[in-house]
Structure 1
Amino acid sequence: MENLKDQLEDGFQHLKEMLEPMQKYVTPTSALVGLGAGLTVYWLIKRNKYKLPPGPTPLPLLGNYSLLGTKDLQEHLAELSKTYGPVITVYMGTIPMVIVNTIEAATEALVKSKADFANRPEFPTGDILSDGGKDIALAQYTPTWKLHRKIAGSALRTYLKGKRLEDAIHGSLVQGIKMFEDTKGEPFVPHSHIDLCVMNIICGLCFQKVYNFDNPAFKHWLDLQNELLTTFGNGFIEDLFPILAKIWPSKRFTKAVTIAQELYQNLEKEFKEHQKSFDEGNIRDFADALILARLEAENEDDTELLSQLTDVHLKQTLGDIFFAGLDTSRLTLQWFLLYIAANTEIQKKAQMEIDNAVGRDRLPGLDDRNAMPYTEATLHETMRIATVAPVGVPHAARVDSKLGGYDIPKGTTIMVNQWALHYDTRHWKDPKKFDPERFLDSDGNLGPKPVSWLPFSAGRRVCLGESVAKAELHVICAILLHQFDIMLPPGVAPDFTPDISGLGGYTANQYKIVVKKRS
């Protein structure tokens, strides 16, 4: 896969070719001296103006480019923290990025500093994916953002919980269980099975649609999402040098934009169909809830409010719930199956708990959650050991501020290394060991949230769908363990090497499992 380091090398070769016609006016020596002097002055001024957190010395223009090609970026950033401290600065090209590697610093940045770091950095990819910042996940911290988050939060609490959520899960898992049964004890890669189940749940909650898993359009939609995740990789050179996105975009960047556009076209099609069939007296799902919010603004004749509830704004809010809910859930479940297959004693203990709580005559549901703390602890441990968003979604400083005693200028990108928090030996004993007991108290009940556990972030930009995701994932995990014994193929050792690791996420490899229907 082409990474950023390769793109930089290709980019500078192209730049050299572009500058060749100017050689008769500027000698190579004078150009090199001028460029070097200019960059040296630029970096000295920029780095000395503020007392930024320490970090490895960047090269002019290139920054700490050697980090860009590393597969386990989050681990390298945590390792740098041992030398430079819990808050460090690395440069991606000319862009300084402040990396937070401990829960104490993360709490200062996300909670104690209130909204100081509640903005998002402005990158070409974010601008394209959010239609210029009209969503929730990537938009700036503004009154419009607060309005959309309030509307979305209200809709989630009203329409994506209780019986609606349980019915969507059960409706999708019925097909999922059959797909697992149809493997007939043969080894198979479970990713597509899980992906189809989760996407069908999201479709049910957002559009009140339940698809057959063999529906071509449904499968194509999921294939596009997988392709976008793979194409994203460890990020784009265009985000380091934004001018390239306008005048000289790479093939990979162009491909990602094309995929994203098709995904949102599909979403827009569903939304427009909902607008045609909307009935104020029958709010069916999340899409209807957004349409209702705009209708209420129209009835109040609130022009200013309506300007913040355009079709584009509502489509983007819908996309946040749809795509974020899809990716984090399915990637977590893929890791869950691998860890549960590799730890049969833990699996048996969870199955015993589920059988005692539910019996064998029905599927686990939301009301059973409190009776299955060990199962939930197993899910939480999966979220810790396999952090699917290892460096989270980047923040940006809204104002000149301080963090860890260092200057953080307005606009600076801040990234919380969630992987480092989840592997911090000060808070986790033997962090590479899969151990659900970490999340239980002495009585075997689910204990308070561990200090250094932050899969959903915190503060003003905490994950909007945290409560829905936890409930959904718990029920799915319980159903799979209730219905099947999950094993690695005979003679196969567990392989926890990720397929993707870094800015693009943390995804499980194409491992195989064997499932046996429980009686």
Structure 2
Amino acid sequence: MDFLRSILPAGLSDMENYITKSVTRTSLLGVCLVVLLARWILTKRQLPPGPWALPIIGHYKLLLDPKIHEACARLSDRYGPVVTVQFGPTKTVILNTIETVMEALVKRRADFAGRPPVPSGMQLSEGGKDILMAQYTPTLKLHRKIAGSALRNYLKGPRLQAAVQDSMGQFLKLVEETNGKPFVPHAFVDLVLFNMLCGVCYQKIYKFDDPKFKHYADIDNQYTAEFGMGLMEDLYPILAKVWPTQRYKKVVWLFGQLLQFVNEELEAHKRDFDEGNIRDFTDCLILARKEAEKEDDPEVLSQLTNVHIRQTISDIFLGGLDTSRFTIQWVILYMADNQHVQRKVQEELDRVVGRDRLPEVDDRPYLPYTEATLYEVMRIASVVPLGMPHTAMVDSSVGGYTIPEGTMIFINHWALHNDPRHWKEPSKFDPERFLNSDGTLARKPESWLPFSAGRRACIGESVAVPELLLIFSILMHQLSIKLPPGVVADYSPESSGVIGYTANRYKIVAEKRF
């Protein structure tokens, strides 16, 4: 600076000041850039590795892959169990091993209990007022507690049993009417699960030809198909506000139709509610609201509005409907293609249940092979392969890598269920992997996680397993199924990706067992 002063003519102090300030600013800017660059390099080293992605566009080929879960699992071979991929402009972390999943969901469960506020989730949940997509707040804790308690207490043996047996009665009648000819079982499965959930939530049973059932079953199938691999608006949220696609509009409309069905039943239950006669899950939620009104607790009442209640019902009804029907569709295909397994299940059922009655909830402890077979189907055909997305609620870490706050995380359930470190010949259908050497049901394998874990684990697990087991048991007890003559089993899915992994429209032949 002395040199500058020596060459500046007298009277140019303003220029001197200007140059002094400029040099200072440049120095500060340079220091800031160096610090930012250093931080970026350090952060980059700590972030989970992953393939290079196009800016803004991301890994579009991966996103378009109908078996995205398998593609993500293959990335682990190169990048390790924690992989960063980019969907649109958003970096997303995929966890591909049970060790990293347990670290995130159990060891650091508070860190990863969030949900991404994507446009479709916020739109369909009426602003995050459900259980599935809501943020982890006191309101969510209250709803999970009420819903979980209602499911456990209301759906004890007799009520669950009645709902399943009533639903299966129609299924068996429809199968008999096929007269041994090949048929696609999907619509019959839809009826069973639609009725099962209607029995649980509304104490109602519909006939197969009922226009209301047909309408809403068709709406739900359309909704699942349209949602498919996800929506463009969830990658680029600005689109939902200024230029939503036709598919986004259709998904919102279809879900609105399903929510209308839920709301109609809720309003009908409110009109004839009787505190001394709690009939179903919906009545349980109304009762919780009534009790809050008696205690005059404004905070609880604000968390149990009509919107909250109908969204909770929709989570149980629609969430339970889709995952359960997808599972039963795969169960039927695997039984038709694995006759030796089917015979062993039937032999166990005949030995325990006999031929004079239907299987019941109380038979479960004595049907280890039947239950193991159901578990194996749930493993090999993971119906929600990437699960529901999580978000980091704070800066955290998994597998030694930094996970910044707000990062979206997917659990690759398919990868867990096909990890050769935990499963011998994972592509082989083998129910005995869930049994001890003496034929009893083994402790659930560590890497079997169809209902997730931690603070966002599925609240319906306590009902879903006995429900599915009872449906499967009645099916095998009453019917023998096989593929049509000359037909080879096709395990390619009808749809896959983010929403669900559904079986193709295969055909079977079924005969009544006597």
Q: What TM-score does the superposition give when structure 2 sets the normalisation length?
A: 0.91
- How far has the Cα of 1:219 moved from its partner? 1.4
Distance 1:450 1:245 in 2: 42
- How far has the Cα of 1:504 moved from its partner? 2.0
**1:277 and 2:269 correspond:** no
Distance 1:155 1:444 in 2: 34
Q: Please state whether the residue corresponding to 2:458 is helix, strand or coil.
A: coil
Matches within 5 A, 1:163-312: 163-312=158-307
**1:487 and 2:504 correspond:** no
**1:387 and 2:382 correspond:** yes
Q: Please state whether the residue corresponding to 1:214 is helix, strand or coil.
A: coil
**1:52 and 2:72 correspond:** no
User: What code does the residue aligned with 2:196 have?
Assistant: I
Offset from partner CA, 1:43-89 (integer Å, 9 cap, x none): 99978755310001111111112211111100100001110000010
Distance 1:422 1:188 in 2: 30
Distance 1:509 1:499 in 2: 4
Matches within 5 A, 1:329-478: 329-478=324-473
Matches within 5 A, 1:100-111: 100-111=95-106
Q: Please state whether the residue corresponding to 1:485 is helix, strand or coil.
A: strand
**C-alpha distance 163-46 of structure 1, shift in aligned 2 (>3 A):** farther
Bigger radius of gyration: 2
Q: Please state whether the residue corresponding to 1:392 is helix, strand or coil.
A: coil
Distance 2:37 2:488 in 1: 50
Distance 1:253 1:265 in 2: 18
Q: Please state whether the residue corresponding to 1:289 is helix, strand or coil.
A: helix
Aligned to 1:14: none
- How far has the Cα of 1:161 moved from its partner? 2.3
User: What code does the residue aligned with 2:197 have?
Assistant: I
**1:160 and 2:150 correspond:** no
User: What code does the residue aligned with 1:458 have?
Assistant: A
* Contact 2:70/2:415 (<8 A) preserved: yes
- How far has the Cα of 1:463 moved from its partner? 0.7
Q: Please state whether the residue corresponding to 2:355 is helix, strand or coil.
A: coil
Distance 1:43 1:456 in 2: 42
Q: Please state whether the residue corresponding to 1:333 is helix, strand or coil.
A: helix
User: What code does the residue aligned with 1:294 have?
Assistant: R
Distance 2:51 2:288 in 1: 49
Aligned to 2:141: 146
Aligned to 2:21: none
**C-alpha distance 272-44 of structure 1, shift in aligned 2 (>3 A):** farther
Distance 1:79 1:161 in 2: 42
Aligned to 1:18: none
Could you list the runs of 4 or more consecutive aligned residues of structure 1 that deviate by over 2 angstroms after TM superposition?
A: 42-51
User: What code does the residue aligned with 1:262 have?
Assistant: Q
- How far has the Cα of 1:166 moved from its partner? 0.3
Offset from partner CA, 1:413-451 (integer Å, 9 cap, x none): 010000000010011111111000000001101100011
* Contact 1:189/1:510 (<8 A) preserved: yes
Distance 1:490 1:230 in 2: 30
Aligned to 1:77: 72
Q: Please state whether the residue corresponding to 2:415 is helix, strand or coil.
A: helix
Let me know the Cα RMSD of the aligned residues: 1.4
User: What code does the residue aligned with 1:288 have?
Assistant: D
Q: Please state whether the residue corresponding to 1:499 is helix, strand or coil.
A: strand
* Contact 1:97/1:414 (<8 A) preserved: yes
Distance 2:63 2:404 in 1: 24
Aligned to 1:66: 61
Q: What TM-score does the superposition give when structure 1 sets the normalisation length?
A: 0.91
Offset from partner CA, 1:207-237 (integer Å, 9 cap, x none): 0111112110111111111110000111111
User: What code does the residue aligned with 1:251 have?
Assistant: Q
* Contact 1:439/1:450 (<8 A) preserved: yes
Distance 1:66 1:184 in 2: 46
Aligned to 1:12: none
- How far has the Cα of 1:180 moved from its partner? 0.8
**1:125 and 2:126 correspond:** no
| Percent identical | 59
- How far has the Cα of 1:487 moved from its partner? 0.3
**C-alpha distance 93-361 of structure 1, shift in aligned 2 (>3 A):** same
Structure 2: runs of 5+ lacking an equivalent: 1-35
Q: Please state whether the residue corresponding to 2:480 is helix, strand or coil.
A: strand
* Contact 2:43/2:402 (<8 A) preserved: no
**C-alpha distance 465-46 of structure 1, shift in aligned 2 (>3 A):** farther
Distance 2:121 2:64 in 1: 21
User: What code does the residue aligned with 2:410 have?
Assistant: M
* Contact 1:43/1:60 (<8 A) preserved: no
Distance 2:73 2:476 in 1: 34
Aligned to 1:315: 310
User: What code does the residue aligned with 2:69 have?
Assistant: Q
Q: Please state whether the residue corresponding to 2:109 is helix, strand or coil.
A: coil
When the two structures are aligned, how many residues end up with a matched partner? 478
Distance 2:334 2:413 in 1: 20
**C-alpha distance 133-191 of structure 1, shift in aligned 2 (>3 A):** same
Q: Please state whether the residue corresponding to 2:86 is helix, strand or coil.
A: strand
Distance 1:261 1:122 in 2: 19
Q: Please state whether the residue corresponding to 1:502 is helix, strand or coil.
A: coil
Aligned to 1:5: none
